[in-house]
Amino acid sequence: MKRFYFLLIFLGLISTAPAGDIISLTWNQVVDISRKENLDIRIMNQDYRIQKLNEWKAMADFLPTLDYSFRAVNNLELPVFVFMGRSFRVGTKYDFTHSLQLQFPVFLGGMRFANRSIQRNSKKSLAQLLKGKEEEVVLKSVESYFQVILTNDLVVVNQKAFEAAKANYEQVEKFYNEGTASRLDLLRAKTRFSESKPQLTSALNARKMAVENLKFILNLNAEDSVVVLDTLSRKDFLKEFAKSPLKELQNLALANRTDLKSLQFQKRIAQNQKLIAGSKFLPQIIVSAGVQHQALLQNRNVTWDDYSRIKSASVILQFPLFEGGKRLLDLQQAFIQNKKISLQTEQLKKAVLLEVNNRFNAYREAKQNLVTLEQAFKEAGETLRLANLTYKEGLSTQVEVLNAQLSFTNSEVRYRRGMFDYNISQLRLLKAIGKLDTIWEN
């Protein structure tokens, strides 16, 4: 029995122990954590590190190669030569050879220089893609963070609407029992109260999903609890860009977008691939030198005195005359790839201009809507206050109170969403012009 009690106490301690850490966050901290801990960024960082090593590998092609080899041969059956009708077996049963070979490519048609340039531009292109991925992740993380704040506010709004509907239902029920309210008024109040329950449940589920999404982006443990320290207020992310005209923002995008910069490096890579394809039509010159120590014996008891030294040096000129037309086809493919990059650059520039235009208009719309929504929210609050007051005094109907409550809840939800849209529209515009890094550089 005592063991049973101890087991219950132990299980109770486990159940009441905190499952994870409590992490308090501001939007600035969200930016920092996402840049350091997001798995997409960390994976791409590994790709960048690999490409840096590829650049060093390309440099290694300019250095000579030095190879050592050892060979031990047991001739199970020696070759037979016939001379003047007589057969002779030539050679020894055992052959031991140590060799050292030095090789240096003097000329490869410019292939090594082109490959070094390709690897260098690949690294620069990947660096721009990494910066673009960083901006993408930061935008998602901050959006998710503000989504958590928005869902928190919507839970509060729906909680207040639920409590107001409940209070209204209880008040109408009291008036109905006193004979001063009709059964229709009671049914309307009860319906409104019932409708507020699923709305509150939906808001709670939305908050839970927003929190889980934020933890996923920030690479936090699923057991951790997140506490947001900011409120859903008007932010000034654009700063000096807020007054910039559309044309100026589009020019900034063309100059700063990481995807455009990356494509420019890809274009240089395509040009160098043409050089590599063209280098295959040129001869190759390779210089090599070697030293070899060989021992030819009839037994395996080899000593250093049994070895004889052989030295050699050679110059190899290699010129491919015919390969079935593969070199010409490779050159044509390189020209086509270069043309493809040019078309992709033109397409991307148009897409960037269109994106900036759309983000700019979305920001202006969100800014104008926020003013209207804020005014409507204030007016709905005053309307609800007057409706409740006049209903208590018997000067208005219960329908007017229900309509005022519904209008107030909807206007507050729209206002909160409008605030969220206004803040996020600024971040998306900054991302579109390639200036999102200004929110963490300062």
Is the residue at 8 inside a domain? no
Select from 299, 318, 337 the last residue of a domain.
318
Select from 318, 344, 369 the last residue of a domain.
318
72 and 132, same domain (yes or no): no
- Residue 419 is part of a domain; what is its CATH number? 1.20.1600.10
Q: In this predicted structure, what is the pLDDT of residue 310?
A: 93
Could you give the CA distance from residue 1 to residue 264 in angstroms, rounded to a whole number? Answer: 77
425 and 292, same domain (yes or no): no
In the chain, how many domains are there?
2
Could you give the CA distance from residue 133 to residue 259 in angstroms, rounded to a whole number? Answer: 10
Whole-number CA gyration radius for the chain: 39
Within a 13 Å sphere around the CA of 187, how many CA atoms are in the beta-carbon half?
3
Is the residue at 103 inside a domain? yes
Burial (CB < 10 A; 0-12, 13-18, 19+), residue 212, is middle
102 and 174, same domain (yes or no): no
Contact yes or no for 59/127 (Cβ under 8 A): no
22: DSSP letter: E
Residue 96: strand, helix, or coil: strand
- Residue 95 is part of a domain; what is its CATH number? 2.20.200
238 and 100, same domain (yes or no): no
Q: In this predicted structure, what is the pLDDT of residue 15?
A: 40
Residue whose entry in the numeric block shows the structure tokens 């990059």:
341
183 and 299, same domain (yes or no): no
Contact yes or no for 293/308 (Cβ under 8 A): yes
Pairing of strands 86-89, 225-228: unpaired
Is the residue at 121 inside a domain? yes
Contact yes or no for 76/26 (Cβ under 8 A): no
Is the residue at 158 inside a domain? yes
257: DSSP letter: -
Which residue range forms the structural domain that includes residue 69?
Answer: 65-79+90-107+284-318
Pairing of strands 284-297, 308-318: antiparallel
Is the residue at 9 inside a domain? no
Q: What is the dihedral of CA 325, 330, 333, 338, to 10 degrees?
A: -140
Is the residue at 239 inside a domain? yes
131 and 241, same domain (yes or no): yes
Residue of 104, 99, 105, 106 whose CA lies nearest to 67: 99
Is the residue at 248 inside a domain? yes
Q: In this predicted structure, what is the pLDDT of residue 187?
A: 86
| Strand order from edge to edge, sheet including 65-74 | 65-74, 94-107, 284-297, 308-318
99 and 207, same domain (yes or no): no
Contact yes or no for 149/230 (Cβ under 8 A): yes
197 and 132, same domain (yes or no): yes
The packing angle between helices 258-279 and 111-178, to 10°, is 150
Per-residue pLDDT of the chain (442 residues; tens, 9 = 90+): 444 333 333 333 334 334 578 999 999 999 999 999 999 999 999 999 999 999 999 999 899 999 999 999 998 888 877 777 777 777 888 999 999 999 999 988 889 999 999 999 999 999 999 999 999 999 999 999 999 999 999 998 888 888 888 887 888 888 888 887 788 878 888 888 888 889 889 989 999 999 999 999 999 998 889 999 998 899 999 999 999 999 999 999 999 999 999 999 999 999 999 998 888 888 999 999 999 999 998 888 888 888 999 999 999 998 888 888 888 888 899 999 999 999 999 999 999 999 999 999 999 999 999 999 999 999 999 998 888 888 777 777 767 877 888 888 889 999 999 999 999 999 999 999 999 999 987 5
Burial (CB < 10 A; 0-12, 13-18, 19+), residue 98, is middle
Is the residue at 3 inside a domain? no
302 and 352, same domain (yes or no): no
278 and 290, same domain (yes or no): no
279 and 301, same domain (yes or no): no
122 and 249, same domain (yes or no): yes
- Statement: the pTM of the whole predicted model exceeds 0.75: yes
Contact yes or no for 21/224 (Cβ under 8 A): yes
